[in-house]
Amino acid sequence: MAVGLNKSELAEAARPALVRELHLSPPLPTSEAKVVLSYPGKLPKVDVLKPVSTTYKKMYGASISDAENIGANGFIWADNWFGLHSLIEAKTKAQLVYLDPPYATGYDFQSRDLEHAYNDSLGDAAYIEFMRRRLILLRELLDETGSIYVHIGHQMVSELKMVMDEIFGQRNFRNLISRKKCSSKNFTKNQYSNMNDYVLFYTKSANYIWNQPSQKPDPAWIAKEYTKVDEKGQYKLVPVHAPGVRRGETGQAWRGMMPPPGKHWQYQPSKLDEFDAKGEIHWSKTGNPRRKVYLTEDKSIGLSDYWDQYRDAYHQSILITGYPTEKNFDMLKMIVGASSNPGDLVIDPFCGSGSTLHAADELGRKWLGIDQSYLAAKTVTERLLRGRKPMGDYIKRESPLDLFSQEEAVVQHEKTEADFSVYVDDEIASAHPTELSELSALLR
């Protein structure tokens, strides 16, 4: 894209280098023509949004009662189709939604203690429609200034991008983020190793909550970028001109020198004089001015759409729950911090081990999580009440430490004492009385 060009310069730049406008055949669709994702069983949006009522049991500490409503902070043990409908019925509005659904891998997932967690076997149209229906409901739940992050693998990222464009509008697409999920793969046959998954970031409107996340630059980047030193410190040299012709002062001569052809001075001449007086202009041997930009102690750089600092657990002291596909906790804290403010509501409809809920709780946000897996229900409860354990505990022992046992684990646990309720879909509650009483025991 041309930067800093005025209208006539833009018109000039837009002219094709090589003109071959005649005899283009066959004709392309018009620029206004829309792409539509089509497959059998695509439910009209109005039907997706038709109310579906469900009743719940509410578990808080030792008590179990019929729930009158679902309030934050809460974990809902249910299929999210029902859970999300109930939240819409209750007129819930969230500022942030993060979801990390099954990726259509075709696998069955177990915990580190080999307990069944969930199955990921939907394929193609069934998977796309399963996701589309839930994404339509999630859009309803988002506040006008809200954001949604869809974490997904390579299997379905292109399909979900199209689904998201259909539901949220291309104009509300913000980023397709690549996240480095692991450091190396030993066995990759006849293709490149797969080290990333993806996050689709959309907002409900152009006016959305955004707290710029940034990080301290690493020393190697600093050494490459700030290559010079003088008595004031480490610095880099940057041009004092920018693309585009200007008629005002910045397009005139400074110190008898015109800006290079097609460019203008980036600052008013008086400002350039100021820099020079402070010794912040470097003059080359040929008389070319450049500005010295010094490295400051609080130097930080905004995050890009490549996240290589949020790998999932990879060494033994990292705290985890043992739930499969548990996501990096620091990544969730960064997302919650960037796209919500304290007191806002954060929803994770495929919450698994509760990484998002934990991050939201720690950062003073309200939260609601949904998962249909019993192991997820137990893991979220245990995590939010008693914390996670170092990954080494699952690896070093001959018989792995039971995540839900109270002995010894207490010593290693981080301290979490979240105050929350568990809501259980009444049909699940009556079909799984043993699991319900186990869960109730954990909550006491």
Ligand X SMILES: C[S@@+](CC[C@H](N)C(=O)[O-])C[C@H]1O[C@@H](n2cnc3c(N)ncnc32)[C@H](O)[C@@H]1O
Residues found near ligand X in the complex (CB under 6 A): 79-80, 100-102, 117-118, 323, 325-327, 350, 352-353, 355, 370-373, 376
Q: Which secondary-structure segment (H or E) carries 384?
A: helix 374-386
First to last CA, the chain: 60
Given the complex with ligand X, which of 81 and 294 has the nearer CB atom? Answer: 81
| Shortest separation between residue 389's beta carbon and ligand X, angstroms | 15
**Chain length of the chain:** 444
Given the complex with ligand X, which of 226 and 350 has the nearer CB atom? Answer: 350
What lies within 8 Å, CB to CB, of 194 at 6+ separation is 154, 185, 188
- Of 207, 150, 200, the C-alpha closest to 176 is 200
| Shortest separation between residue 220's beta carbon and ligand X, angstroms | 30
Q: Which secondary-structure segment (H or E) carries 393?
A: helix 392-395
Given the complex with ligand X, which of 339 and 373 has the nearer CB atom? Answer: 373
CA distance 309 to 216: 12
| Shortest separation between residue 254's beta carbon and ligand X, angstroms | 55
User: Closest residue (Cβ) to ligand X?
Assistant: 352
Do the beta carbons of residue 243 and residue 4 sit within 8 Å? yes
| Shortest separation between residue 296's beta carbon and ligand X, angstroms | 36
| Shortest separation between residue 98's beta carbon and ligand X, angstroms | 8
CA distance 286 to 333: 50
Given the complex with ligand X, which of 235 and 307 has the nearer CB atom? Answer: 307
Given the complex with ligand X, which of 83 and 289 has the nearer CB atom? Answer: 83
| Shortest separation between residue 324's beta carbon and ligand X, angstroms | 7
- DSSP assignment of 163-222: HHHHHH-GGGEEEEEEEE--S--S---SS----EEEEEEEESSSS------EEPPPHHHH
Given the complex with ligand X, which of 160 and 272 has the nearer CB atom? Answer: 160
